[in-house]
Amino acid sequence: MLLRPADALNLGFLMLLTVVVVAFSSIIPKAPILVLLYSGLILSQILLVRFRERGRAMHWMYHLIFPTISILAIFDSLEQIVHYINPVDIDPLLIELDHLIFNGHPTVMMEGMLNPLLTDILQLAYSSYYFLPVGLGAVLLIKRDERSFDRSLFLIMFCFYLSYVGYLLFPAIGPRFTLDHLQQTDLRGVLIFDPLYSLLNRLEGVKRDAFPSGHTGIALTVLMLSFRYEKRLFMLFLPFVAALVFSTVYLRYHYVVDVLAGIALTALTLLIGERYYEYREKRINSCS
């Protein structure tokens, strides 16, 4: 069974999480459910590799739909893991670093620029994070540029999973919780902010996912890949990504050091991920 790099990455990360959950099963309340979830995803990945070219629907399921489901399912599962195996949040350190850099708290300092319309626009930009990777992938698949798609998928998944490792090692809940008592003005929008903010809070929960900023890392990774493979998409994505990165602090989801770590996450993804992808591709070609 020939695995492309993204398949091997997904299987490897699922197996790693399974080992972690089993090792800490005595303190993770829903450990059996998590093992069942990861086992189901592993089995699904193997079956999709086996039957990937049986029709157009299966083609899309293998290339785009299942990777998206897997990334989201793993992210959702982290809420049942992180705080149990690593209960000490690093927010005090992140707050101190931000204060050291800016001589204040950036989310509080930004209160002077709050504007309901701007808040709506930035919440929309922040939410575009969920559509940027899928948009790039869909365009590359429609163009039948599977070589570019496979590399992009691997790098995006690699960035996601690196960020998840960051959440496990450095749990933090972010300034919307830790610095709320210092904020003098609530965030308010015109039409979009309140429903989107409430929806994201329900969907994301409290996963200790502030450091590094996955929104920043993924958005910048997608932007770099779109510049490489789809220049027109790059021009479309650029204002969304710029607004998204700014929104992470404006909307109080992240500390500035989270964003800096997100930028480093993109650099790490492209530096290590590209080298590993080349290595895996050579191995695949030598076996074919």
d(CA 239, CA 132): 12
Handedness of CA 138, 142, 143, 145 (dihedral sign): positive
d(CA 40, CA 38): 5
Residue 2 has pLDDT above 80, yes or no: no
Mean pLDDT of 21-50: 97
d(CA 188, CA 176): 14
Residue 137 has pLDDT above 90, yes or no: yes
Query: With contact defined as beta carbons under 8 Å apart, do 150 and 7 qualify?
Result: no
Residue 239 has pLDDT above 80, yes or no: yes
Helices (H), the chain: 5-23, 31-50, 56-60, 66-77, 82-85, 91-102, 106-109, 116-127, 132-142, 146-169, 175-178, 193-204, 214-229, 231-250, 256-287
Confidence bin at 205 (pLDDT 50/70/90): low
Query: With contact defined as beta carbons under 8 Å apart, do 126 and 250 qualify?
Result: no
Query: With contact defined as beta carbons under 8 Å apart, do 67 and 149 qualify?
Result: no
pLDDT at position 3 is: 85
Per residue in 263-286, pLDDT tens? 999 999 999 999 999 887 777 777
pLDDT at position 202 is: 74
Query: With contact defined as beta carbons under 8 Å apart, do 149 and 141 qualify?
Result: yes
Q: Tally Cβ neighbours within 10 Å of residue 274.
A: 14
d(CA 124, CA 16): 34
58, two tokens = 């299966």
Query: With contact defined as beta carbons under 8 Å apart, do 42 and 11 qualify?
Result: yes
